[in-house]
Structure 1
């Protein structure tokens, strides 16, 4: 049995952030936290999220795993007013999820776990070039990039972080000096390129994020770490480089 209650804004952040990459996800409920880890159908992007149980007004459960269709969860959450509480109850005997908002109660069927791609483990990737940037700045950079092309070129040196998107006729070039970043650690210049497709929906969520940690290497995955609600919700995003862009 699972019974949790949280403010609608908390659940919206969790569900809508996951929806930037996947349509279904397995929610792993533990005594002290919620964990979700999912990979997109093309195996290009992975997102992992952890939410502290302390964020929830009610956290009464036996440890369990529940696979949910995210769009249906969001449909219910959109009915909630600002600050309104949302209740989720999972009956493992009846195999039903009940989501309640005010007088509205919606019953959902969980998805068979065999139909959802869940990573067996999170890749242990060591990336030595790291920059920390505000969520607003990174969101604005990628939103500007989407009007020009589909591939973003990212570079990092001991002095600056660069984001460039070349297009057929136009281009976007953005450079942040080390003094304009919260932190910059890079010994030698590195370059890599990534598909904007996997980032555009995600960056829309970053305006409210205080700080994002970016890490990548020469033709290596992009790693992004950030959090919501004073880091009570932690997010890890991994994106494979575009090999064909070189």
Structure 2
């Protein structure tokens, strides 16, 4: 059994984040939360979103799993305007999830979860934590996208740098420690990442959101932030780009 009511903007934010990696996802439902995990087909990035029952206006659930086609879900959410509520109800007998938005009802067939991956999120220990508003990252990415297919992130005790260098051009964003929301770094660390993956996730994070980037030298990056007024925790992992000598 699963019945819930949620703001359309909240559900859109969650769905858009996870859909940067996969087209189908498994919702692991518990009496107090919903968890979504995804890893992209190339195993370059993975994400875990834990949505507390507090993110919903109403929430009643037993432990269960449902698989959804995210393109279908996004098509339904396009019907919802700002401030609209989305009513969700699982119909296990018919194998469907029922969406109600205003006077519109959509019954969506579920996707079999048997073949879906259940990635284990690794424990990663990094030496640098950078906390800042996502708006700065969006600007740095906009300046970099036409230059190269990878981006360099650097943290030092003095600040944070996002840089991109191509054959002829380069872009550089530097934010001193005084302008960051937080910085924990004892020595300089730097790592390169595929720009398309980094850009895709940053673009769907709502403006004004505070994000924390965990870095180390040539090491996977952790990007952490909250959605739904702090009731949904997002962890995004991105593998580094290691260039051969």
TM-score normalised according to structure 2 size: 0.95
State the secondary structure of the residue aligned to 1:219: coil
> Is contact 2:14–2:227 with CA below 8 Å preserved after alignment?
no
Is it true that 1:177 corresponds to 2:172 in the alignment?
A: no
Is it true that 1:49 corresponds to 2:42 in the alignment?
A: no
Q: Which residue of 2 aligns with 1:17?
A: 17
**Number of equivalenced pairs:** 245
State the secondary structure of the residue aligned to 1:161: strand
The 1-side partners of 2:21 and 2:235 are apart by: 12
Q: Which residue of 1 aligns with 2:217?
A: 218
Superposed displacement of residue 3, structure 1 = 1.1
Q: Which residue of 2 aligns with 1:89?
A: 89
User: Which sections of structure 1, spanning at least 5 residues, go unmatched?
Assistant: none
Superposed displacement of residue 201, structure 1 = 2.0
Q: Which residue of 2 aligns with 1:110?
A: 110
> Is contact 1:209–1:226 with CA below 8 Å preserved after alignment?
no
Which range is displaced more, 204-213 or 187-196? 204-213
The 2-side partners of 1:138 and 1:200 are apart by: 9
Is it true that 1:151 corresponds to 2:150 in the alignment?
A: yes
Which range is displaced more, 107-116 or 129-138? 107-116
Superposed displacement of residue 94, structure 1 = 2.2
The 2-side partners of 1:115 and 1:75 are apart by: 24
Superposed displacement of residue 115, structure 1 = 2.9
Q: Which residue of 2 aligns with 1:208?
A: 207
> Is contact 2:220–2:237 with CA below 8 Å preserved after alignment?
yes
Q: Which residue of 2 aligns with 1:228?
A: 227
The 2-side partners of 1:82 and 1:156 are apart by: 38
Superposed displacement of residue 47, structure 1 = 0.8
Q: Which residue of 1 aligns with 2:8?
A: 8
Provide the aligned C-alpha RMSD in A. 1.4
Superposed displacement of residue 196, structure 1 = 0.9
> Is contact 1:222–1:238 with CA below 8 Å preserved after alignment?
yes
Q: 1:207 to 1:109 in 2, by over 3 A?
A: closer
Superposed displacement of residue 205, structure 1 = 2.3
Superposed displacement of residue 103, structure 1 = 2.0
The 1-side partners of 2:111 and 2:105 are apart by: 19
Superposed displacement of residue 207, structure 1 = 4.2
Q: 1:221 to 1:21 in 2, by over 3 A?
A: same
Superposed displacement of residue 52, structure 1 = 1.5
Cα deviation code 1:32-64 (max 9, x no counterpart):
111111111111101111112122122122111
Q: 1:214 to 1:89 in 2, by over 3 A?
A: same
> Is contact 1:161–1:175 with CA below 8 Å preserved after alignment?
yes
Q: Which residue of 2 aligns with 1:74?
A: 74
Superposed displacement of residue 236, structure 1 = 0.5
User: Which sections of structure 2, spanning at least 5 residues, go unmatched?
Assistant: none
